[in-house]
């Protein structure tokens, strides 16, 4: 599954997605990238869900602060990611 890119907060953001149906957004934690979730994305998509997993700035192949995002920055990014995709309703998951 190849990553896609979209503009979020003026930054080119990499994400992976698959499927059609109700939307699930997975927020990666512990420094993981969307690549870690490929088996989950494919499995959930095969059961009728649309799944999206963004790489936060500084993770995956994306540049960002070496110290990561602050909690408010991460919250803004998480909210603006589905907005950039035109998603208005989703189930959220993370680790």
Q: Which residues are registered as beta bridge partners of 11?
A: 8
Name the 3-class secondary structure at 7. strand
What pLDDT does 75 receive? 87
Q: When comparing pLDDT for 9 and 93, which is higher?
A: 93
Q: Among residues 16, 13, 9, 8, which one has the least CA distance to residue 52?
A: 16
Task: Quote the mean pLDDT of the chain.
Answer: 86
Q: What is the pLDDT of residues 31-67, one digit of tens each?
A: 788 999 999 999 999 999 999 999 887 665 555 555 5
């Amino acid at each position: 599954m190849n990553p896609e890119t979209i503009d979020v907060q003026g930054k080119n953001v990499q994400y992976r997605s698959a499927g059609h149906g109700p939307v699930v957004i997975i927020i990666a934690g512990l420094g993981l990238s969307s690549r870690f979730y490929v088996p989950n994305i494919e499995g959930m998509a095969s059961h009728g869900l649309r799944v999206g997993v963004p790489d936060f700035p500084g993770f995956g192949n994306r540049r960002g602060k070496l110290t990561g995002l602050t909690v408010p920055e991460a919250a803004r990014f998480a909210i603006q990611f589905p907005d950039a995709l035109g998603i208005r309703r989703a189930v959220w998951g993370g680790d």
